[in-house]
Amino acid sequence: MRVVSLVPSLTEAVAASAPGSPGPSRLLVGATDWCNHPADLDVVRIGGTKNPDVERIVRLAPDLVIANEEENREPDLTALREAGFEVLVTEVRDVPQAFRELERVLEACGVRARPRWLDEAEAVWADLPVPLRRRRAVVPIWRRPWMVLGRDTFAGDVLARLGVDNVYAGHAERYPRVPIEELRSAETSEYVVVLPDEPYRFTAEDGPEAFPGRAWALVSGRHLTWYGPSLVEAPGVLGRAIASTG
């Protein structure tokens, strides 16, 4: 079985579950330049999630290409299908769906034994403590222009299960562009600004200064947006980061 992954979180999931793990996966033969987990992954790099080198993927002759309807572009997936390759496309809008899609991907990749990390992740998310208080948050994912989490997103569901309600969860768009003046407005009531380090890499020096007077938290984008082994640690890592805002 030869697998090419166009999704960093799926790359990590397959590599952590493949025969011979830990260590380089025997299944994966290609992955994107953004696939940085596990650190010792030794496969052919095929470009970015939005601009994969289709010709290089063709030369790898995979039995399966795994992708995501949000992270990857349909023209690239169509080109791979037209070249004769099977392409499995995941759709993940909430935590339960993530677990179902992970099972589907691993089965398609020929992973017969259910990995321990998947059992651990499901157990963690099934037994979350009840938040002492719910909080509201604005979650920028880009600047220049400013974009935030809107409706029906996996990251929004992750936060909601941890007691953090997305201010823009009712927006008509999933990733709306919102003027910074609106984000700063007191009309949106009290909220904390949650700043992930991907897809835009917000830092203590790049992001918080745009929200004077607001509490803010820098969070791991891998734990907020990836669905894979990171789900085991995500509640604790994200919870501690947001709790630090007071």
Phi, psi of 137, deg, nearest 5: -145, 145
**Is residue 32 one of the residues assigned to a domain?**
yes
- 109 and 174 co-located in one domain: no
Largest Cα–Cα separation, the chain:
55
Q: Cβ atoms within 10 A of the Cβ of 23, count?
A: 12
First-to-final CA distance of the chain: 49
The two three-digit tokens of residue 128, written as one number: 């979350």
Q: What residue numbers bound the domain in which 150 lies?
A: 135-243
**Is residue 130 one of the residues assigned to a domain?**
no
Q: Which range is least confidently modeled, 8-12, 21-25, 166-170, 196-200? A: 21-25
Distances (CA, A) of 63 to 13, 48, 77, 146, 194: 18, 20, 14, 39, 39
State which of 125, 150, 181 marks the end of a domain.
Answer: 125
Indicate the SS3 state at residue 156: helix
Residue 225, pLDDT score: 97
Please give the DSSP secondary-structure letter assigned to residue 132.
Answer: S
- 16 and 119 co-located in one domain: yes
Residue 24, pLDDT score: 45
- 159 and 107 co-located in one domain: no
Residue 246, pLDDT score: 64
Q: Can you tell me the distance from the alpha carbon of 101 to that of 119, in angstroms, rounded to the nearest whole number?
A: 14
Q: What is the mean pLDDT of the chain?
A: 93
- 150 and 75 co-located in one domain: no
Over residues 180-208, the pLDDT tens digits come to 999 988 555 688 999 999 999 999 999 99
Full strand arrangement of the beta sheet holding 3-5: 44-45, 28-31, 3-5, 64-68, 87-90
- 14 and 102 co-located in one domain: yes
Task: Supply the CATH number for residue 208's domain.
Answer: 3.40.50.1980
Over residues 69-100, the pLDDT tens digits come to 999 999 999 999 999 999 999 999 999 999 99
